[in-house]
Amino acid sequence: MRAVWTIAKRELRAYFTSPVAYVFLVIFLLLTGFFTFTAGNFFERGEASLAAFFGWHPWLYLVLVPAVGMRLWAEERRSGTLELLLTMPVAPWQAIVAKFIASWLFLALALALTFPAILTVNILGDPDNGIIAAGYVGSFLLAGAYLAVSCMTSAMTRNQVVAFILSVVICLFLILAGFNPVTDLLTRWASPAVVDTVAAFSVVTHYDAFQRGVIDLRDFLFFLSVIGFALFATGIIIRGHRAG
């Protein structure tokens, strides 16, 4: 457990000793602001909720989360530090979990810095803060799922750009599987059972439940199993590299 914390600490510090953290935080906050208040018609909606804010997260994360996750393993492989790390008395799963947790915490920080949005709705109206809390939980889990996918693609290559693109594509699939235009298209020639199965793989279906204020164990499990699966795959990929 201590090894996990040691690696996570180093990883987290690495974000802040490079410009990555600051660039990411500024862009993330600017974009959430823009999408919420301008593109999301926050004021015209006339409702005291953060629906306009959370609605954009699956799309915003699609580009930004792979940017956070792409370096995790690709960088270690490129610079050769992977050899250093894995010859320390550390089990590979500890390193994988540690790196994931560090970048997830970083994303949590970014999310926490959106608190002015909560203040704004609370000053302007009387929102249901329970729904907002559920929204944040959903958003955090969504970020975790994307991040785990990025971890996996990062382990596949020593090139960060390739890791980024692969990750965006996989995450895009995770969104589109439940996106209305896509499910509508599917219903034309597939049975409802197939459509439901495909849609069940979509992060959007599960994410929306949180935005309605529903914290359902199944949605929780969905995100956790995506994370678990992707990290497990990361472990297999890394073992594959070492085996040559």
Interface contacts to other proteins, rule CB under 8 A: 2-3, 6-7, 10, 13-14, 17-18, 79-81, 83-84, 86-91, 242-244
User: Which one, 4 or 195, has the nearer CB to other proteins?
Assistant: 4
Q: Identify which of residues 87 and 180 has a Cβ nearer to other proteins in the complex.
A: 87
Q: In terms of CB distance, is 181 or 244 closer to other proteins?
A: 244
CB of 93 to other proteins, least distance (A): 12
Please identify, using beta-carbon distances, which residue of 17 and 180 lies nearer to other proteins.
17
From residue 20, how far is each of 31, 143, 168 by CA, in Å?
16, 17, 18
Minimum separation from the CB atom of position 18 to other proteins (A): 6
Q: Minimum distance from CB of 156 to other proteins (Å)?
A: 18
| Minimum distance, C-beta of residue 9 to other proteins, in the bound complex (Å) | 8
Q: How many other CB atoms are there within 10 angstroms of residue 150's CB atom?
A: 31
Three-class HEC string of the chain: CHHHHHHHHHHHHHHHHCCHHHHHHHHHHHHHHHHHHHHCCHHHHCCCCCHHHHCCHHHHHHHHHHHHHCHHHHHHHHHCHHHHHHCCCCCHHHHHHHHHHHHHHHHHHHHHCCHHHHHHHHHHCCCCHHHHHHHHHHHHHHHHHHHHHHHHHHHHCCCHHHHHHHHHHHHHHHHHCCCHHHHHHHHCCCCHHHHHHHHHCCHHHHHHHHHCCCCCHHHHHHHHHHHHHHHHHHHHHHHHHHHC
In terms of CB distance, is 60 or 82 closer to other proteins? 82
State the minimum distance, in angstroms, from the CB of residue 38 to other proteins.
36
Nearer to other proteins, 6 or 120 (CB): 6
Q: How far is the CB of 168 from other proteins (least distance, A)?
A: 25
C-beta of 2: minimal distance to other proteins in Å? 7
- CB-nearer residue toward other proteins: 32 or 154: 154
